[in-house]
Amino acid sequence: MQYAHVGTAGPEVSRLVLGMMSFGDTTRRAWHLDLDAARPLVRRAAEAGVTAYDTADVYDRGASEEVTGCLLRERFPRRDDYVLSTKVYYPMSDAPDDRGLSRRHILASIDGSLRRLGTDHVDLYYVHRWDYETPVEETMEALDAVVRAGKARYLGASSMYAWQFAKAQHVAERNGWHRFVAMQNHYHLAYREEEREMVPLCLDQGVGVLPYSPLARGLLTGTRTRGGGGSTSRSAHDPAAGELHSDTDFDVVDALVEVARGLGRPPAQVALAWLRDRPAVVAPVVGITKPAHLEDALASLQVELGPEECARLEAAYVPHAAVGPE
């Protein structure tokens, strides 16, 4: 296993982060795994040296946090042996004020997350989206209070425009509050708009990038089809993916398959290796539901791509409309 620090001020993590969104309540989505089904996957990840695990309160309305906490307590004898992250923003109930990044919601949400995770702190606490209704000063002060109370070690952000991220960082610095050390964003071979502003900003500010959905919901594994749907349980029951991918994205997939064939590797391994080596990227957040998914992710650490191979992978890309916090 390889390890790296999250930016210039964050924790050291494995260069693969295990995304726990697919673990939780099997009645909500056909491709989710319950505690018993997830256990061997987490055991294998831990044995392979994966130390970073990522979830969110909203994943299955807390069920993912419960499963995550249970499995990590089983696998790691000491709390300091792993890096745990969760997120805040989305509603956890039908109450109208149970969402967003207000001081009230943040302080209540961290306590709820810690209770479900069965720990006294998380290592990274992410804001899941940008809150247009709450002043950013209120949000950053509340997050600072969470860190000063010892309930989170570091702060991270996810899926926002670069100007929003810069504004939040400036507000925190101006007031002497804790700043974000991590950006978990939408970034992969088929969506590279983060390279325009967000990645350069993170490089300049010493912020680590940990992209989510690095395989584009299966698009970069070859399980999606141009006409919609796919060959796996998730791809066949994931209507949102049809809104995310265009025909030009499949041109990227074709190039990926060709390069992977030349290397004698599955496309997923090559796509993860490409992303891992991008500027500012610390580790992709990889979701798994099968042992083969995890083995591909682990094997990707051994894939080295040369300049010619990277150029072939990148040549088919067509710019997209930027996706922000919506």
- Cite the active site residues: 59
CA end-to-end distance (rounded Å), the chain: 35
Between vectors from CA 175 to CA 170 and to CA 180, what angle results, nearest 5°? 50
Structure tokens at 41: 């996957």
- Which of 50, 10, 20 has the alpha carbon at shortest distance from 298? 50
């042996």: which residue's tokens? 81
Q: What are the Cα distances from residue 150, in Å, to 138, 145, 208, 297?
A: 19, 9, 22, 32
